[in-house]
Amino acid sequence: MAEVIVEGVDILEKIKDSVARDNEVIKAVEEMKKAGVKMLRDEEWREEYGLMLKEGKVYVPKDEALRVEIIRLHHNTLMGGYGGQWKTMELVTRNFWWLGATREIKQYMEGYNACQ
């Protein structure tokens, strides 16, 4: 897994800490693997360094504050500057995955733009 660095914030440690509160997802994935459900192949879901990965991307637990922080950190990067909705979406989804990420990024951007 590639190292994920976002403005010096150790976001992966925050995700690891949050995973402990999201055990139902980990249990469900493990149970589906044990049951031999074909949609969850080893390449699709796996655990690495205490993180759940979906197709090589870090699964972000259902933690609203954590997800907002990930979006915010990718929205205005030192290297990329202000990226807008599509650039932010591309940057976030390059390394992270959660169900509804596209919708949440859009909502964040709509709120951000309304404050401008």
What CATH number does the domain containing 21 carry? Answer: 1.10.340.70
* Residue 6 maps to a domain: no
* Residue 57 maps to a domain: yes
Q: What is the pLDDT of residue 38?
A: 52
Q: Is the pLDDT of residue 18 over 80?
A: yes
Enclosing H/E stretch for 112: helix 101-115
3-state secondary structure (DSSP) of residue 57? strand
* Residue 2 maps to a domain: no
Q: What is the pLDDT of residues 45-92, one digit of tens each?
A: 777 887 888 888 999 998 999 999 999 888 876 455 556 788 889 989
Q: What is the pLDDT of residue 114?
A: 55
Structurally, how many domains does the chain consist of? 1
Mean pLDDT of 5-10: 62
Q: What is the pLDDT of residue 60?
A: 93
How far from 50 is each of 17, 74, 76, 88, 90, CA to CA, in Å? 9, 23, 28, 26, 25
Q: Nearest 5 degrees, angle CA 102-CA 107-CA 113?
A: 125
Most confident region among 10-14, 17-21, 67-71 by mean pLDDT = 67-71
Q: What is the pLDDT of residue 4?
A: 57
Q: What is the pLDDT of residues 30-47, one digit of tens each?
A: 776 777 665 555 567 777
First-to-last alpha carbon distance for the chain, in angstroms, is 37
3-state secondary structure (DSSP) of residue 24? helix
Per the structure block, which two tokens stand in for 2?
Answer: 């590639």
Q: What is the pLDDT of residue 7?
A: 57
* Residue 98 maps to a domain: yes
Per the structure block, which two tokens stand in for 58?
Answer: 């870090």
Q: Which domain holds residue 100?
A: 11-115
* Residue 5 maps to a domain: no
* Residue 86 maps to a domain: yes
Q: Is the pLDDT of residue 104 over 90?
A: yes
* Residue 4 maps to a domain: no
Q: In angstroms, rounded to a whole number, what is the distance separating the alpha carbons of residues 83 and 76?
A: 7
Per the structure block, which two tokens stand in for 111?
Answer: 């709120």
